[in-house]
């Protein structure tokens, strides 16, 4: 059993993943954290020093690695599903779930987030909303390839547990 949680930055993949892993007695993997430990470098630094294209190559490599692990719940970075054939890789090696949270909530959560994200660094709330709207439009077709789509601003671990019961 392998579950991939995908969706835009701030949709709650990691929080959900940790809760699910505890309920299902599985191991939680945050793909960004795994990547940082694998390459001994923060993803902020990889973005800054090597550029996004290199980050995406590394992200693909670690996605392949974790796709071979058993009994894991993996929260991917928001962009991971949208590069290479990463969606096909995830759909073929496990259950892929898209957490489809509304733009208003994403804006609110990202404004109040503690984690620094290179793609949105320094943006005003208005710029952030515009950025999210535009990028979500491009990313949605990839996200919607997931086998399961959960919509709403209050998606609970039980909503996912119900899929598997």
Stretch that binds ligand S3P, among 17-25, 90-98, 99-107, 113-121 (CB under 6 A): 113-121
Give the separation between CA 99 and CA 102, rounded to whole angstroms: 10
Map the chain to HEC letters. Answer: CEEEEECCCCCCHHHHHHHHHHHHCCEEEEHHHHHHHHHCCCHHHHHHHHHHHHHHHHHHHHHHHHCCCCCEEEECCCCHHHCCCHHHHHHHHCEEEEEECCHHHHHHHHHCCCCCCCCCCCCCHHHHHHHHHHHHHHHHHHHCCCCEEEECCCCCHHHHHHHHC
If one asks whether residue 98 binds ligand S3P (CB under 6 A), the answer comes out as no
Interface characters, 34-73, with ligand S3P (x: CB under 6 A):
---------x------------------------------
Binds ligand S3P by CB under 6 A, chosen from 19, 36, 63, 79: 79
Give how many residues touch ligand S3P by CB under 6 A. 9
Is 1 a binding residue for ligand S3P by CB under 6 A? The answer is: no
Tokens of 10: 């701030």
Q: Retrieve residue 94's tokens.
A: 């496990």
By CB under 6 A, tell whether 9 contacts ligand S3P.
yes
20 in contact with ligand S3P (CB under 6 A): no
Q: Does 28 bind ligand S3P (CB under 6 A)?
A: no
Nearest distance from residue 29's CB to ligand S3P, in Å?
12
Among 119, 140, 152, 164, binds ligand S3P (CB under 6 A): 119
Contact pick of 12, 17, 78, 94 for ligand S3P (by CB under 6 A): 78
Rule CB under 6 A: which residues touch ligand S3P? 9, 32, 43, 77-79, 117-119
């Amino acid at each position: 059993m392998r579950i991939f949680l995908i969706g835009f930055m701030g949709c709650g993949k990691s929080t959900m993943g940790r809760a699910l892993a505890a309920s299902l007695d599985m191991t939680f993997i945050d793909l960004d954290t795994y990547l940082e430990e694998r390459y001994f470098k923060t993803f902020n630094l990889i973005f800054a020093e090597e550029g996004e294209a290199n980050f995406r190559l590394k992200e693909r490599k670690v996605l392949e690695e974790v796709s071979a692990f058993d009994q894991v719940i993996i929260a991917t970075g928001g962009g991971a599903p949208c590069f290479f054939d990463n969606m096909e890789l995830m759909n073929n090696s496990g259950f892929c779930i898209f957490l489809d949270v509304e733009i208003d909530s994403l804006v609110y959560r990202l404004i109040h987030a503690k984690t620094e994200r290179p793609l949105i660094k320094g943006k005003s709330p208005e710029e952030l909303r515009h950025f999210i709207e535009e990028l979500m439009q491009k990313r949605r077709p990839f996200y919607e390839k997931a086998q399961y789509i959960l919509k709403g601003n209050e998606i609970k671990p039980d909503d996912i547990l119900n899929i598997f019961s």
